[in-house]
Amino acid sequence: MSQDFNIEDETYTRFTFERDGRVLTAAITSDHPVNGVDGPMHDELARVFTDLQRDSGSDIIVLTGKGRAFCAGGDFDWFDEQMEDPSKFRAIAWDAKQIVVSLLQMEKPIICRLNGAAAGLGATIALLCDIIISDDKAVIGDPHVKVGLVAGDGGALIWPQLIGFAKAKELLMTGDMLSAPEAKELGLINYAVPTDELNGKVSELIEKLQGNPKWAVRWTKTVANIPLRALAAQLMDASIGWESVSNIHKDRKEAVDAFREKRKPNLTGD
């Protein structure tokens, strides 16, 4: 690997990057009002964490979202494409695994600055970070089941590890969203602070990390993630596989249509 790698030299359309000394902020950025995941964003998510690790000018990563949301899950137009042509869903399976694996393989500490809603894959990405600091007005949840999908892109992996199986299964099977204070109370996230205190709390944690020897911090995080990486190796093939199967069922389309139209779905059990 080259000693000189600058992520800003790479082509990204769904992320912007900003440096403050050895701290690099990566912001999810899109034209979608709540930073919904579309094809190009999914492609970039599959490589951005590797590139952030390789970036030679940074020691600490802050991951956040531009605008009023962090990342509110899959874009509905993208869902339509995947339902009409299931091969398009199958085609993203490897990248879906790579998002989770590459995030867990990062050695640099990564702080999630949760500035707004995080849902589905957005929630998974937030929760796989090392420290999650949220605006207390934000919400977080994994509503995959609400749109007819298995929570296969990492939710079934990380939620039980953070809050235990009973509560995690309840939330994953109902698709219920949590307020940031509720998530903090459950131990899902580290902090829920008022909007005007969010940047200050992020800076406080950065200062604490920078006050310790870099390699001790980095490799402590690496060791702590070993069990999660092992779990990912055990679960992700099956979880992405089951999610792919759920994409082809009739209730999947009805669930998406009902969610989009803000009505109760007329489910048939198929």
Residue extents of the structural domains in the chain:
7-261
Q: Please compute the mean of the pLDDT values over residues 199-226 and round it to a whole number.
A: 98
Q: Please compute the mean of the pLDDT values over residues 25-29 and round it to a whole number.
A: 97
Q: Which residues contact 207 (CB under 8 A, 6 or more apart)?
A: none
> With 80 as the cut, is the pLDDT of residue 2 above it?
no
Q: Please compute the mean of the pLDDT values over residues 83-101 and round it to a whole number.
A: 96
> With 60 as the cut, is the pLDDT of residue 1 above it?
no
Q: Please compute the mean of the pLDDT values over residues 214-227 and round it to a whole number.
A: 98
> With 80 as the cut, is the pLDDT of residue 28 above it?
yes
Residue 111 to residue 189: CA distance in whole angstroms: 11
Per-residue model confidence as pLDDT tens digits over 38-89? 999 999 999 999 999 999 999 999 999 999 999 998 999 999 999 999 999 9
Residue 219 to residue 127: CA distance in whole angstroms: 19
Per-chain mean pLDDT for the chain: 96
**Residues 153 and 121: beta-carbon distance below 8 Å:** yes
Q: What's the pLDDT band for 3 if we cut at 50, 70, 90?
A: confident
Q: What's the pLDDT band for 114 if we cut at 50, 70, 90?
A: very high
Q: Please compute the mean of the pLDDT values over residues 140-147 and round it to a whole number.
A: 97
Q: Centre a 10 Å sphere on the Cβ of residue 107 and count the other Cβ atoms it contains.
A: 13
Residue 196 to residue 235: CA distance in whole angstroms: 39
Q: What's the pLDDT band for 116 if we cut at 50, 70, 90?
A: very high
The yes/no answer on whether domain 7-261 falls in CATH 3.90.226.10 is yes
Per-residue model confidence as pLDDT tens digits over 241-255? 999 999 999 999 999
Task: Please give the pLDDT value at position 212.
Answer: 98
Angle, vertex CA 228, rays to CA 222 and CA 234, nearest 5: 135
> With 60 as the cut, is the pLDDT of residue 187 above it?
yes
Q: pTM score, two decimals?
A: 0.96
Picking from 238, 2, 234, the residue whose alpha carbon sits closest to that of residue 10 is 2
Picking from 168, 176, 162, the residue whose alpha carbon sits closest to that of residue 227 is 162
Residue 58 to residue 161: CA distance in whole angstroms: 29
